[in-house]
């Protein structure tokens, strides 16, 4: 499945929508690129042309792992618990977290990644904080040309404030 993830390299445009304890929607872009001689896929989620959150996907032996560098300034680490290559579905579960300010501080505790087809994906963050649960669904369409190795992403969206899971519930 990691080979399929590598094919995401390039720029993407889309939207986000919250459900659960949080509500709201807006524009969200993304840039994916390979690093570490192809051993890791970096995902930058972009607002107003700047990355606001970054996730890094990689293998640890046969296990698919992900570390999310959250706008909430913590770093949850997740492991794929369900991989369905035929359906393009990967569900990640929480393993541990660094820099969590308190036990009920806002943080990502799961992720659902859906590779719908080569040009359409969804990324759903499962988020909790203060005893409340939320889901942030990000729907992305491939835009522009693909590149396999590059620096941080570009792209833009409106809004001017961090409306994603970087702020408390």
Model confidence pLDDT, tens digit, residues 101-160:
999 999 999 999 999 999 999 999 999 999 999 999 999 999 964 444 444 333 333 333
Tell whether the model's pLDDT for residue 164 goes beyond 60: no
* Residue 156, pLDDT score: 37
Model confidence pLDDT, tens digit, residues 51-78:
999 999 999 999 999 999 999 999 999 9
Model confidence pLDDT, tens digit, residues 5-27:
999 999 999 999 999 999 999 99
Mean pLDDT, to the nearest integer, of 31-35?
Answer: 98
Distance of CA 33 to the CA centre of its chain: 13
Query: In degrees, to the nearest 5, what angle opens at C-alpha 164 toward C-alphas 128 and 29?
Result: 135
* Residue 89, pLDDT score: 98
Q: pLDDT tier at 161 (50, 70, 90 boundaries)?
A: very low
What ranges make up the beta strands (E) of the chain? Answer: 10-20, 24-35, 40-47, 50-60, 63-69, 75-84, 89-98, 107-117, 120-129, 132-143
Tell whether the model's pLDDT for residue 32 goes beyond 60: yes
* Residue 169, pLDDT score: 52
Domains along the chain with CATH numbers: 2-143 (2.40.128.20)
Q: pLDDT tier at 2 (50, 70, 90 boundaries)?
A: very high
Tell whether the model's pLDDT for residue 31 goes beyond 70: yes
Model confidence pLDDT, tens digit, residues 77-107:
999 999 999 999 999 999 999 999 999 999 9
Length of the chain: 169
Model confidence pLDDT, tens digit, residues 41-53:
999 999 889 999 9
Secondary element (H or E) of residue 106 = none
């Amino acid at each position: 499945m990691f080979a399929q993830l590598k094919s995401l390299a390039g720029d993407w445009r889309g939207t986000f929508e919250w459900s659960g304890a949080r509500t709201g929607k807006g524009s969200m872009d993304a840039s994916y690129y390979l690093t570490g001689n192809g051993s890791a896929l970096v995902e930058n989620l972009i607002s107003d042309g700047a990355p606001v959150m970054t996730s890094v996907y990689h293998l640890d032996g046969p296990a698919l792992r992900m570390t999310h560098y959250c706008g909430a300034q913590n770093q949850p680490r997740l492991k794929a618990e369900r991989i369905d290559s035929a359906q393009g579905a990967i569900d990640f579960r929480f393993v541990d977290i660094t820099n969590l300010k308190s036990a009920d501080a806002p943080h990502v505790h799961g992720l659902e990644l859906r590779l719908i087809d080569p040009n359409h994906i969804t990324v759903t963050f499962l988020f909790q904080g203060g005893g409340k649960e939320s889901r942030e669904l990000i729907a992305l369409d491939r835009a522009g040309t693909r590149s396999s190795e590059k620096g941080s992403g570009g792209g833009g969206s409106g809004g001017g404030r961090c409306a994603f899971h970087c702020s408390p519930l």
